[in-house]
């Protein structure tokens, strides 16, 4: 057999698979598995009828651009639609600042390629979104974590991390964060801290990468649209690169997202994007554009907020009823995730194999920590399973958590 190791680049040798994607594969292999692992939207609330109608109209052959090559930055009418969405969030943009990306994941990857050299330090939250961790690590950058508090990133720890990195002679160009219903913690960054972060970025001369796929999905019992005001909305100096996506509100399969960056940065993102995908998928962009223009997106948002809020409520009620104060979590005020903390001696990595034995799955918190901590934490996603499955899944999880706490578990099975 050929040994391929010596063919790989240093970056490829260092690259690691995402814990979450692996969970997804496992969940499919085990029948009757209840998965709280991936942050998938629920297909039950996709606009199937409307998408079918729009796709049918688009695929008549009358408009060749629907299946043609197009601009790298994206379909112009869709860019304009995204600018309207941004304006509704308080962000004013020029067309030159805009790019449609093939999912926000591509946007994050592009940011890493455009901003970081090997050895640079990138500041991220503790814990942080794994897709960003992997993309940034692929550039050879070192990720340094900053603690979070109940109202988002800890500004004192942020300052300390920056000072330490610069004192060690490292280049620090940016802070990446998810201010609205963060993946994985569900935390909402306070409005006050958003302002303070802009002042900090100016003082420190760094850029902020604001990743906001969940902002539109606030839960009306605990949050308002005003609470989700993007940092970018008050960015007078052009320090913020803002990303958002149609994945969580319309459907991730279209792979359509967008980003707004200062013009010189957007120009570089455009150049790097040309070698990645030439352009975002044309048909998907047309469908998303029509879904926006016909009011399908805006019209469905109140229903989506309520739908996911109800699932959040069921999960919280079940956890409270069955686990009481054995675990703690911050109440998710929007988004897809509930972040649970077990007593310090517990290991959610070890517990995972026993959870799989009980046919329930989650993501162990350590996957999200760039500093190797978080062993007693886990992410539960309530977005995909039905309410009935959430009830049953929490019942199974309760058994596993109680065993872990009592330390009287059997040896795990191999899967």
Q: How many residues bind ligand PLP (CB under 6 A)?
A: 14
Closer CB to ligand PLP, 104 or 348, in the complex: 104
Closer CB to ligand PLP, 99 or 346, in the complex: 99
Question: Does position 129 bind ligand PLP by CB under 6 A?
Answer: yes
Residue 46: DSSP 8-state? S
The H-assigned helical ranges of 116-181 are 130-138, 155-167
Question: Does position 245 bind ligand PLP by CB under 6 A?
Answer: yes
Dist. CA 324–CA 138, nearest whole Å = 41
Question: Does position 35 bind ligand PLP by CB under 6 A?
Answer: no
Among 93, 105, 318, 381, which residue sits at the site for ligand PLP (rule: CB under 6 A)?
Answer: 105
Count of H-run helices and E-run strands, the chain:
13, 14
Short-list 288, 259, 260, 336, CA closest to 104? 259
Question: Does position 39 bind ligand PLP by CB under 6 A?
Answer: yes
Question: Does position 288 bind ligand PLP by CB under 6 A?
Answer: no
Closer CB to ligand PLP, 127 or 213, in the complex: 213
CA distances from 47 to 16, 58, 73, 282 (A): 35, 16, 26, 19
CB of 126 to ligand PLP, least distance (A): 15
Question: Does position 183 bind ligand PLP by CB under 6 A?
Answer: yes
Among 125, 210, 211, 284, which residue sits at the site for ligand PLP (rule: CB under 6 A)?
Answer: 211
Crossing angle of helices 48-58 and 282-293, in 10° steps, is: 120
The H-assigned helical ranges of 250-323 are 263-277, 282-293, 296-323
Closer CB to ligand PLP, 335 or 393, in the complex: 335
Question: Does position 97 bind ligand PLP by CB under 6 A?
Answer: no
Closer CB to ligand PLP, 70 or 131, in the complex: 131
CB of 69 to ligand PLP, least distance (A): 22
Question: Does position 111 bind ligand PLP by CB under 6 A?
Answer: no
CB of 39 to ligand PLP, least distance (A): 4
DSSP codes joined into one string, 203-237: HHT-EEEEE-SSTT-B-TTT--GGGG--GGGG-TT
CA distances from 11 to 118, 141, 268 (A): 10, 11, 22
Measured from the Cβ of residue 279, the count of other Cβ atoms closer than 10 Å reads 19
Among 83, 97, 247, 398, which residue sits at the site for ligand PLP (rule: CB under 6 A)?
Answer: 247
410 burial class (0-12, 13-18, 19+ CB within 10 angstroms)? exposed
Contact 320, 329 (CB under 8 A): no
DSSP codes joined into one string, 169-200: T--EEEEEE--SS-TTT-----HHHHHHHHHH
Short-list 190, 191, 196, 151, CA closest to 175? 196
Q: Shortest Cβ contact with ligand PLP: which residue?
A: 103
How is residue 91 written in tokens?
């962000």
Closer CB to ligand PLP, 37 or 66, in the complex: 37
Stretch that binds ligand PLP, among 103-111, 338-346, 364-372, 389-397 (CB under 6 A): 103-111
Judged by CB under 6 A, the chain residues 131 through 160 that form the site for ligand PLP are 131
Which residue do the tokens 């280049």 mark?
171
Among 23, 86, 100, 178, which residue sits at the site for ligand PLP (rule: CB under 6 A)?
Answer: 178
Stretch that binds ligand PLP, among 43-51, 226-234, 245-253, 397-405 (CB under 6 A): 245-253
Measured from the Cβ of residue 180, the count of other Cβ atoms closer than 10 Å reads 28
Judged by CB under 6 A, the chain residues 255 through 284 that form the site for ligand PLP are 257
Among 104, 309, 348, 383, which residue sits at the site for ligand PLP (rule: CB under 6 A)?
Answer: 104
CB of 288 to ligand PLP, least distance (A): 11
Stretch that binds ligand PLP, among 100-108, 312-320, 341-349, 406-414 (CB under 6 A): 100-108
Stretch that binds ligand PLP, among 99-107, 139-147, 168-176, 262-270 (CB under 6 A): 99-107
Closer CB to ligand PLP, 193 or 354, in the complex: 193
CB of 367 to ligand PLP, least distance (A): 13
Residue 33: DSSP 8-state? -
Rule CB under 6 A: which residues touch ligand PLP? 39, 103-105, 129, 131, 178, 183, 211, 213, 245, 247, 252, 257
């Amino acid at each position: 057999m050929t040994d391929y190791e010596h063919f790989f680049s240093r970056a490829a040798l260092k690259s690691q698979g995402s814990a979450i994607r692996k969970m997804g594969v496992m969940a499919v292999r085990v029948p009757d598995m209840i998965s709280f692992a991936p942050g998938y939207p629920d297909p039950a609330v996709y606009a199937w009828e409307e998408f079918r109608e729009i796709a049918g109209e688009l695929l008549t052959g009358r408009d060749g651009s629907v299946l043609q090559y197009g601009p790298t930055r994206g379909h112009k009418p869709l860019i304009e639609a995204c600018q309207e969405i941004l304006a509704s969030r308080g962000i004013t943009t020029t067309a030159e600042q805009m790019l449609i990306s093939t999912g926000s994941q591509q946007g994050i990857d592009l940011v890493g390629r455009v901003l970081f050299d090997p050895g640079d330090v990138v500041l991220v939250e503790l814990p942080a979104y794994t897709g960003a961790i992997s993309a940034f690590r692929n550039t050879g950058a070192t990720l340094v974590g900053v603690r979070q508090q109940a109202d988002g990133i800890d500004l004192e720890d942020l300052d300390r991390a920056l000072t330490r990195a610069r004192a060690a002679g490292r280049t620090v160009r940016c802070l990446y964060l998810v201010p609205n219903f963060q993946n994985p913690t569900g935390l909402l960054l306070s409005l006050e801290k958003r302002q303070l972060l802009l002042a900090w970025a100016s003082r420190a001369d760094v850029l902020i990468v604001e990743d906001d796929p969940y902002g539109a999905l606030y839960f009306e019992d605990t949050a308002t649209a005003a609470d989700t005001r993007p940092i970018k909305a008050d960015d007078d100096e052009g320090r913020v690169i803002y990303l958002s996506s149609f994945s969580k509100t319309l459907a991730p399969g279209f792979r359509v997202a967008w980003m707004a960056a200062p013009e010189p940065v957007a120009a570089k993102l455009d150049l790097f994007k040309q070698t990645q995908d030439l352009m975002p998928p044309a048909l998907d962009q047309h469908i998303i554009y029509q879904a926006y223009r016909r009011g399908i997106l805006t019209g469905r948002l109140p229903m989506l907020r309520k739908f996911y809020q109800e699932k959040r409520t069921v999960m919280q009620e079940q956890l409270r009823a069955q686990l009481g104060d054995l675990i703690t979590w911050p109440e998710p005020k929007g988004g897809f995730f509930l972040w649970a903390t077990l007593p310090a001696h517990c290991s959610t990595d070890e517990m995972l194999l026993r959870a799989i034995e009980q046919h329930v799955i989650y993501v162990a918190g350590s996957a999200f920590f760039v500093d190797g901590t978080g062993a007693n934490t886990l992410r539960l996603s309530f977005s995909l399973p039905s309410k009935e499955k959430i009830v049953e899944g929490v019942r199974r999880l309760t058994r596993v958590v109680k065993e872990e706490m009592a330390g009287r578990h059997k040896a795990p099975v191999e899967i």
